Amino acid sequence: MVTVAGAEGADPNASVAILHRGNKYVVRFLKCNSTPTAMVCFAAWKPQPSLQGELAVEVFCRRLGLNVIGILAAENDWFQHAEIEAALAAIRAATAGYDLIGYGGSMAAYASINFADRLGLRRVIAICPQYSIDERRAPYESRWRAEAARIMAGGGFSHDRIDQVAPPVQGWIVYDPATADTHHVTDIQRRHPLVQVPVFFARHNEMRMLKQCGLLEPMLTEMLAGRFDAAGFQRRLRTARRRSAVFWINLSAALLERNHLAGALHAVRQARALPHPEPAEIDIQEARIAAALGHHAEALALAAPWTNDPAWSWAAVPLVSQLQAAEAAAPRRAHASGGTRWHRIRHFIHPAKAGS
């Protein structure tokens, strides 16, 4: 198991060594204690990836006195560039004899499984990983088509090998079974017997949801120490998820898909009442509800401010385009069909604000 030193066992002189610095990847080794144990964490997908700074997990590792190796990426390339070979070699050379555990989410979780044998990872904590984003291997995946196209243009998926990793990887796979991620988990588990940890209503935002619930760090600490209680975790999650804006937003989305519009609006308003660092997600979800009711003007007012946001333009731009087209095609009919119902539902959720 990876040693969790705790604040009293952390090295006050924790240092960072750069194991590899290239054009595509930078490998950082944050040493917080003298034990031959470490977490290995690849960079997750970012709207604007960079080789500068540190991984978010380093804050957690500094606080608990954990050694961690972080692999930063210049692009969201799923670590397919040929330079990854030099980065992996540098990690192996620096960690001979170490007990290593991989950790990451999405693209980073994919990499922790994909390179587990190359790095000698004993276990992985993989949160919503992909089996592949290459449509030839994962025809069900369309969320990262732009990234996949760039990878193909830059040399192809030359290191896409989860189905070849040997021996099979042990550890945990955390995901929302009600999403497309289930297809990836099914394909991954054909070879790797990872323990499933379901997190419903996360929709590929498991890390954020668990952090908002106050459960991410306890879960990681228990897994690293080899004492994770899956049943106890599910009990705590069912109670704590009401504190998560991610939970309420995704519950709202599920209700909207079932045309339960009053419930969807109530859920997104619950999210708005909680601390949340990204109001874009709430605005866009509420805009979708307004659009479903035909109240296009209010939907546009909610979604339009986010069309230039690097993190949310992918959701806001197509929604705004659809709303503008609907407004241009039948503005009077849209107002007549949706306005009264929108007023009734808002009155149901917030009677004092129904006339606003």
Q: Rounded mean pLDDT of the chain?
A: 90
Q: Distance (Å, rounded) from C-alpha 124 to C-alpha 138? A: 22
Give the pLDDT score at 334.
45
| Whole-number pLDDT of residue 278 | 78
Largest CA-CA distance found in the chain, in angstroms, rounded: 71
pLDDT at res. 337: 53
Spell out the domain ranges in the chain: 7-241, 245-353
Cis? peptide before 167, omega within 30° of 0:
yes
At 277-322, the pLDDT tens digits run: 679 999 999 999 999 998 999 999 999 999 999 889 999 999 999 9
Q: Helix 216-224 to helix 57-64 angle, to the nearest 10 degrees?
A: 60
Count, residues in the chain? 356
Tokens of 243: 């504190």
In angstroms, the CA 147 to CA 186 distance is 23
Structure tokens belonging to residue 197: 């940890």
In CATH, what number does 7-241 get?
Answer: 3.40.50.1820
**Mutual orientation of helices 296-303 and 279-292 as an angle, nearest 10°?**
170
Q: Kindly indicate the confidence band of residue 332, based on its pLDDT and cuts at 50, 70 and 90.
A: low
Burial class (CB in 10 A: 0-12, 13-18, 19+), 146: exposed
pLDDT digits 0-9 by tens, 201-239: 999 999 999 999 999 999 999 999 999 999 999 999 999
**Residue 311 has which token pair?**
């993190």
pTM: 0.88
Side chain identity at residue 135, one-letter code = E
